[in-house]
Amino acid sequence: MVGIIMGSTSDMPVMQSAIDVLKQLGIETEVDIVSAHRTPDKLFDYGKNAHERGIQVIIAGAGGAAHLPGMIASLSPLPVIGVPVKSRNSIDGWDSVLSILQMPGGVPVATVALDGAQNAGILAAQILGASDKGIRDRILTYKEGLKEKVIAGAASLKK
């Protein structure tokens, strides 16, 4: 199971693509709002206990100061994938990117592109697929579908 958390409901339009791709790959998700600044007790509880609820990977999306992914990574034994979100109060998204990307040694956060929740979902699936052949096979099928879309698009240009 993949835990998908975000700092506020305004992040949902971006984070929805992670939910969608994981659903397409047949991977269960748990979605919640966990604000690093407004609900710190909830953040601590989530970070310390997510693995006990069966979550295997956490995707954390945040805009602005974007402390959520790093704080979760500091508390959890699980892999954390950070999604920088370009929010209305951000500095064109760069503050979010750098806050998530520049973690201190010992507190890794795998960081995807700005608003890159789809890739976060795929990466979470690949992490799970490393030890689950069923998921790995679905990822291979998904990637084959991506290849076929590109080939079909290229063929349509030649007509």
Q: Is 38 marked within a binding site?
A: yes
16 phi and psi angles, rounded to 5 deg:
-60, -35
Q: Is 90 marked within a binding site?
A: no
Q: Is 136 marked within a binding site?
A: no
Name residues whose C-beta falls within 8 Å of residue 93's C-beta, 6 or more positions apart in sequence: 63, 84, 85, 86, 87, 114, 115
* Per-residue H/E/C for 103-136: CCCCCCCEECCCCCHHHHHHHHHHHHHCCCHHHH
The angle that helices 117-129 and 133-157 make with each other, rounded to 10 degrees, is 140
Q: Residue written as tokens 């659903």?
A: 23
- Which residues are known binding-site members? 8, 11, 38
- Which residues are known binding-site members for substrate? 8, 11, 38
